Amino acid sequence: MEHRVALVTGGSRGIGAAITQRLAAEGMSVLFTYRSSGTAAYEVVDEITRRGGAALAARIDSGAPGAAETAVSTAIERFGGLDVLVNNAGTFDSGELASVGLTEVDHALALHVRAPYLFSQAAARRMRDGGRIITIGSTFADRVPYAGVALYAMTKAAVGGMTRGLARDLGERGITANVVHPGNIDTDMNPASSEEAASELPQIALGQYGAPADIAGAVAFLAGPDGGYVTGATLTVDGGYNA
Ligand code: NDP
């Protein structure tokens, strides 16, 4: 297979950093974005470079106008093409229904729905045939286990519909589109050491939090040769949380 290029949004920390590292380990050149964690982004690039891989970080807020075109153009200018897009950047916004305001609604929609759509659209325009679009959702798209997360769950469910539409739009070019729904994954967003984690553990069939590398493995499968006939699908990686 020829040299492949990936774009990962939100690759400075957590799941996005693990995806970036895994795709680089698979031999891809990876451009990843971040919003504010410059030092962490530098460390991801440094580690990949020390292992002989190729990665670059670009400070691009996924919610900002023009973000998708800038990120796609940068990946193509720096690495010569684009084969894989991973829509990962996200935040966990929760709060009592009555207290959620317009700003929070707009922020969540911009980051979790508008950005994956615009990044997918911009990537599809310039991606090579046979490319892959993978969006990181959440198990909350399918089942909401407690109150206060309707906004987050709504945005994460939306990318499922988008992905099935993309699979139809792009199938004739051999481009696949899939969603990975993580369950509880130990990151800054959802630390396995937190008080809340204690109440989550009994609901997880495997009895423990997942690691960012567990999600990166699923993404690598969908981005790699074995995932070529999977499109419009949802892969839940949650240790049986939603079982
Ligand atoms: P983290 O908070 O650990 O990392 C989030 C990453 O997204 C960081 O690299 C951050 O960059 C980046 N990011 C956030 N906002 C923006 C923005 N506006 N523009 C560009 N980059 C941005 O989160 P996780 O790794 O845990 O989550 C990654 C994805 O997985 C999210 O979509 C999340 O909803 C989803 N998920 C996570 C679960 C979990 O249990 N951890 C469960 C289910 C889904 P920076 O630091 O520079 O701001």
ipTM score for this prediction: 0.99
- CB of 210 sitting under 6 A from ligand 1: no
Considering only CA atoms, which of 6, 144, 148, 150 is closest in space to residue 88?
6
- Which atom of ligand 1 is closest in space to residue 209's alpha carbon? 40
- What's the pLDDT score for residue 1? 55
DSSP string, the chain: ----EEEESS-SSHHHHHHHHHHHHTT-EEEEEESS-HHHHHHHHHHHHHTT-EEEEEE--TTSTTHHHHHHHHHHHHHS---EEEE---------GGG--HHHHHHHHIIIIIHHHHHHHHHHHHPPTT-EEEEE--GGGT---SSS-HHHHHHHHHHHHHHHHHHHHHGGGT-EEEEEEE-SB-BTTB-TTSHHHHHHGGG-TTSS-B-HHHHHHHHHHHHSGGGTT--SEEEEESTTTT-
Q: Which of 7, 30, 34 is the pocket-test mutation for ligand 1 (most atoms within 8 Å of CB)?
A: 34
- What's the pLDDT score for residue 93? 87
Q: How far away, in angstroms, is 2 Cα from ligand 1 center?
A: 30
Top-level CATH class of 5-236? alpha beta
- What's the pLDDT score for residue 172? 98
Q: Is 152 a catalytic residue?
A: yes
Q: How far away, in angstroms, is 91 Cα from ligand 1 center?
A: 5
- CB of 111 sitting under 6 A from ligand 1: yes
Q: How far away, in angstroms, is 17 Cα from ligand 1 center?
A: 9
| Cα 56 to Cα 76, 84, 117, distances in angstroms | 12, 15, 23
- CB of 239 sitting under 6 A from ligand 1: no
16-75 residue pLDDT tens: 999 999 999 999 999 999 999 999 999 999 999 999 999 999 999 999 999 999 999 999
Lowest mean pLDDT among 1-5, 143-147, 188-192, 222-226: 1-5
Residues in the chain: 243
- What's the pLDDT score for residue 79? 98
- What's the pLDDT score for residue 18? 99
- CB of 187 sitting under 6 A from ligand 1: yes
Q: What average pLDDT does this structure show over 93-104?
A: 95
- What's the pLDDT score for residue 83? 98
Q: How far away, in angstroms, is 64 Cα from ligand 1 center?
A: 16
- CB of 188 sitting under 6 A from ligand 1: yes
- Residues 152, 209, 229, 241: which is the catalytic one? 152
Query: Which residue's alpha carbon is nearest to atom 32 within ligand 1?
Result: 90
- Measured distance CA(87)–CA(90) in Å, rounded: 9
Q: How far away, in angstroms, is 226 Cα from ligand 1 center?
A: 27
101-143 residue pLDDT tens: 999 999 999 999 999 999 999 999 999 999 999 999 999 999 9
